[in-house]
Amino acid sequence: MTDRPYVHDCHRDHGPYAGVADLLVRIAAERPRLAARHAVELHAIAPRLDPVARPAAEEEPIRFHPARRTAALAYGATEFVATWAERLRRPVTVRFDHVDHADETTRELLDTLTRRLAPSPLRLDLRGDGPDRPPTEPDPAALRGALGDSLARGFYHHAARTARRGRALVRPDDDLRHWWAFTTGLATALAALDRAAEALDLYDEARAATDHPKITMSAAYATAMLYARHLPPADQDPARARHWLDRALRLAAGLDDPRQRVLSTVFYEQGLALLDSRAGEPARALRLVDDGLARLHAVLAPGERRQDLARLRHNRAQVHLALGDPGRALADLDTVIADDPDNCEYYVDRAALYRAAGRTRAAIRDYGTAIRLGPHLPEAYYNRAVLQQERGRPGRAADDLDRVLAIDPGHVDARIALVNLHLARGAQDAAETAARAGLALAPQEPALLCTLGLVRSERGGLAEADDLLTRALAGDTTLVEAWTNRAAVRFERGEVAAAVADLDRAVALSTAPVPRFNRGTALLRLGRWDEAARDFTAALAQPDLDRALRRELRAGLARCRRAGTGRPTDG
């Protein structure tokens, strides 16, 4: 590229990632090796970079990407551009027109680029204007293809717009096939965007518009899944979900094609297995999954629909876990990954099993694969950071936590972990900066208030620490760390009785030894020897005590015994 401005049209009529995809393609042509390291995100954003890409099928895929995946794609693409820009020998300007009419994916990527590239020899010239595009007459078949593509790729805002355009063109009494495709596509997009109540209305509309058996069957199953999965937790309704699943299964039993009858029945029964497992009936769920796998094997040819079979085995792995059998769960996941090796979700689940079994290296390896395939899954980065910290690799852990926050700035657990990591290495300035950055995004988040309170107390700001911890407890009265830390602050300020009151709350909430040790120490200061001795004794009875804490507890108990015999104590 030269220093002359390149112009890209970002208008949403061009589709997801309009304009920015062109920039990525240009860079990929210049730096193919760099592009190969970012292949997953680049192929997702600009499929023309993928030599084996195929158009998305018109039928709905068996699984959908989460809506938050676009943030991970934006992160990966931004790192690709930033690495390329670091080697520019002269300033380069890239102009983007129609930014105010861009798709959400385009705006998200441009926002991420803007934050990451300042300062940089690459300058982004974002404009809301540009030459007008002549309107085109939409074609229902073309719109349906675009809808299927957007759904399959996880670009739900564009899918919803496309579906609405399609519904405006056709009516159920004139073109039922296209109308239903647009209606169910819109409902799918809305559910992915946390607007499940609107999706329910669409399925009600479909049932009022037609009694076509296949449409009413699909609408019944989709309605069941909205009640089981997609509505807010307070609005989910297992009984209604079962009602609609039963209706879908009755309609599936009436299908003329025996093979399709089996396929539909088996997959609808997986919804029942989900509800059974949640209702505390994992054995009944296991029978449904096992029976479904047997019936699928009976109607499928060898090697056919491997991803569908993998999905059922994945369901069975979750049921085995619920039954307390991680060995069988791991065996199922091994088979699942062999049959569907490109699904990041499976590696995350297997990594969790490896982690629980103490197989840290295998867990880290699977999290790495999930990050590559995801790509850039924040939770995989976060879990890998925890493992790296446990292995004594704080630098690697911090790198992973920084990546989590670059993708998802609102990831509270990552914010807290990063603050604690800085505290552990004595970097108090960095710890305070990280804590305040989190509170700038979530000012009332109790865990962040608690963590910043700990930082301020360690830096001598006791009054501010007390205020922060009090605010944390106002938001969450069950936060043991906040009661414990505020007690430590009040003890240091000489408010020993107030510290004991806080520790009473902490001990009531937790059997952990530290609150009891702290309360025993405060009771010693008040001369309440017998009560202090009971706390030290109870804390010593806890398993797997840290050696240093065990030593301090024994010393405290010895002081109580000396005080009880009338001999002087050391303070």
CB 19 within 8 A of CB 95: no
DSSP-derived secondary structure letter, 226: I
CA atoms within 13 A on the CB side of 362: 13
pLDDT of the residue at 5: 64
pLDDT of 119 over the 90 cut: no
Contact partners, residue 257, CB within 8 Å, separation at least 6: none
pLDDT of the residue at 59: 42
Whether omega before 375 lies within 30 degrees of 0, making that bond cis, reads: yes
Position 4 confidence tier, pLDDT thresholds 50, 70, 90: low
Q: State the SS3 of 119-137.
A: CCCEEEEECCCCCCCCCCC
Dump pLDDT digits (tens) for 390-415: 999 999 999 999 999 999 998 999 99
pLDDT of the residue at 58: 44
pLDDT of 571 over the 50 cut: no
Extents of the domains making up the chain: 6-126, 526-571
pLDDT of 55 over the 80 cut: no
Q: Which helix (H) or strand (E) holds 52?
A: none
| CA separation for the pair 331, 335 (Å, rounded) | 7
CB 408 within 8 A of CB 423: no
Q: Copy the structure tokens of residue 129.
A: 């204007």
pLDDT of the residue at 134: 64
Dump pLDDT digits (tens) for 281-331: 999 999 999 999 999 999 999 989 998 999 999 999 999 999 999 999 999
| CA separation for the pair 342, 362 (Å, rounded) | 18
| CA separation for the pair 103, 157 (Å, rounded) | 8
pLDDT of 2 over the 70 cut: no
pLDDT of 453 over the 50 cut: yes
- CA distance to 333, 487, 490, 512, 514, per residue, from 522 (Å): 51, 9, 10, 17, 12
- CA distance to 499, 557, 559, per residue, from 569 (Å): 22, 12, 6
pLDDT of 569 over the 70 cut: no
Range with the poorest average pLDDT among 46-55, 144-153, 356-365: 46-55
pLDDT of the residue at 565: 65
pLDDT of 1 over the 60 cut: no
Express as a percent the part of the chain with pLDDT over 70: 95
pLDDT of the residue at 28: 97
Position 64 confidence tier, pLDDT thresholds 50, 70, 90: confident
pLDDT of 56 over the 70 cut: no
pLDDT of 63 over the 80 cut: no
168, amino acid identity = A
Position 132 confidence tier, pLDDT thresholds 50, 70, 90: low
Dump pLDDT digits (tens) for 476-517: 999 999 999 999 999 999 999 999 999 999 999 999 999 999
Judge residue 482's burial from the number of C-beta atoms within 10 Å of its C-beta, 0-12 exposed, 13-18 middle, 19 or more buried: buried
Express as a percent the part of the chain with pLDDT over 90: 88
Minimal CA–CA distance to 126: which of 244, 21, 20, 229? 20
Range with the poorest average pLDDT among 130-134, 144-148, 528-532, 561-565: 130-134
Q: Taking the model in full, what pTM does it have?
A: 0.88
- Mean residue pLDDT of the chain comes to 93
